[in-house]
Amino acid sequence: MASLFQDYDEFVEKFKPKKTTDDCYTPKAVYDVVLEYVNGITSLDGRHIVRPFWPGADFTECDYPDGCIVIDNPPFSIYSKIVRWFLAHDIDFFIFAPGLTQRVAGADVCYVATMADVTYDNGALVRTSFTTNIIKDYRLMTAPKLAEDIRKASKKPTRGQPIIYEYPDNLITLALLGKLNQRGIDFSVRKDECAEVTNIDALRRVKKSLFGGGFLLSERAAAERAAAERAAARERLKLTLTRDELAMIP
């Protein structure tokens, strides 16, 4: 009889919904911290805050009043589609994003790399950053205080992530941006000082990829990035850029 119950339990377990990044219900304490941060960027007084993402809903059918702003945690499986749709429809947004795969190729947005570990109400632990179109002049930035406030609200310690390669000063990824954020470093890059790339030849030659893509930086931005990285220097494989890649730098 015991074996029958065990078999039945295993059978039932197969049909239980699994935790995914599409079903992450944002803890109120974390959401309130994000609201406070956004309110520091642009006043939310009198603005309609839209939260269009919930199970079974079609965000494209939601009502978006004039002057509204979306502040919400979207299903990450269609994250890129959501970003592009909001941009195409001229809707302001500040949305949660998957930290390591945050970049949306060619999108005119700002990536706020917090890399904050958030434990959502369904128990899923997700390394979280943010993507927005309300920060107009910058493509990349850290937000150490926001990350720390999220950590406190989540009551979870942050996880470390080892860096295998040392990238050229003129190259930065969102993962590296997140590392700067974790070290409490304020750093930002203007739109006219960076160019998107999906990979570089130095990595292709060793059959590696630039996970999530990256950005080539102007000399000024590269100097600031190098200064920020010096304090945490460690033994890494130094990569270089090709002439074609150097020519892409703004």
Q: Which of residues 142, 158, 174 is at a domain's end? A: 158
Q: Are residues 153 and 170 in the same domain?
A: no
Q: Are residues 142 and 237 in the same domain?
A: no
Dihedral in degrees, nearest 10, Cα atoms 225, 231, 232, 237: 60
DSSP string spanning 60-81?
GGS---TT-EEEE---GGGHHH
Q: How many helices (H) and strands (E) does the chain have?
A: 8, 12
Region of poorest pLDDT, from 85-99, 106-120, 148-162, 169-183: 148-162
DSSP string spanning 193-234?
GEEEES--HHHHHTT---TT-EEEE-HHHHHHHHHHHHTT--
What pLDDT, in 10s, does the model give residues 3-33?
444 454 554 454 444 444 444 578 899 999 9
Is the pLDDT reported for residue 186 higher than 90?
A: no
Q: Are residues 136 and 43 in the same domain?
A: yes
Q: Provide the pLDDT confidence category of residue 79 given band limits of 50, 70 and 90.
A: very high
Q: Are residues 213 and 96 in the same domain?
A: no
pTM of the entire predicted model = 0.69
Q: Are residues 114 and 127 in the same domain?
A: yes
Tokens representing residue 143 in the block: 């937000």
Answer with the residue of higher pLDDT: 220 or 25. 220
Region of poorest pLDDT, from 61-65, 183-187, 242-246: 183-187
Q: Could you give the number of structural domains in the chain?
A: 2
Domain containing 94 equals: 1-158
Q: Are residues 131 and 239 in the same domain?
A: no
Residue 86's identity, in one-letter code, is: F
Closest CA to 182 of 218, 232, 109, 221: 232
Q: Are residues 176 and 130 in the same domain?
A: no
Q: Are residues 153 and 182 in the same domain?
A: no
Pairwise CA distance, residues 103 & 181, whole Å: 17
Q: Are residues 229 and 110 in the same domain?
A: no
For the stretch 92-113, what's the b/e string if a residue is b when 16 or more beta carbons lie within 10 angstroms of its beta carbon? bbbbbbbbbbbbbeebebbbbb
Answer with the residue of higher pLDDT: 135 or 237. 135
**Quick one: average pLDDT of 190-201?**
94
Q: Which of residues 158, 179, 206 is at a domain's end? A: 158
The pLDDT of residue 8: 45
Sequence-ordered alpha helix ranges (H) in the chain: 2-13, 28-41, 79-88, 144-154, 174-182, 201-205, 219-230, 243-247
Q: Are residues 128 and 192 in the same domain?
A: no
The pLDDT of residue 5: 41
Q: Which of residues 158, 179, 202 is at a domain's end? A: 158
CATH of the domain at 152: 3.40.50
State the number of CA atoms in the 13 A half-sphere of 13 facing the CB.
6
Q: Are residues 139 and 20 in the same domain?
A: yes
Pairwise CA distance, residues 239 & 170, whole Å: 10
Q: Provide the pLDDT confidence category of residue 59 given band limits of 50, 70 and 90.
A: very high
Q: Are residues 133 and 23 in the same domain?
A: yes
Answer with the residue of higher pLDDT: 119 or 103. 103
**Quick one: average pLDDT of 107-134?**
89
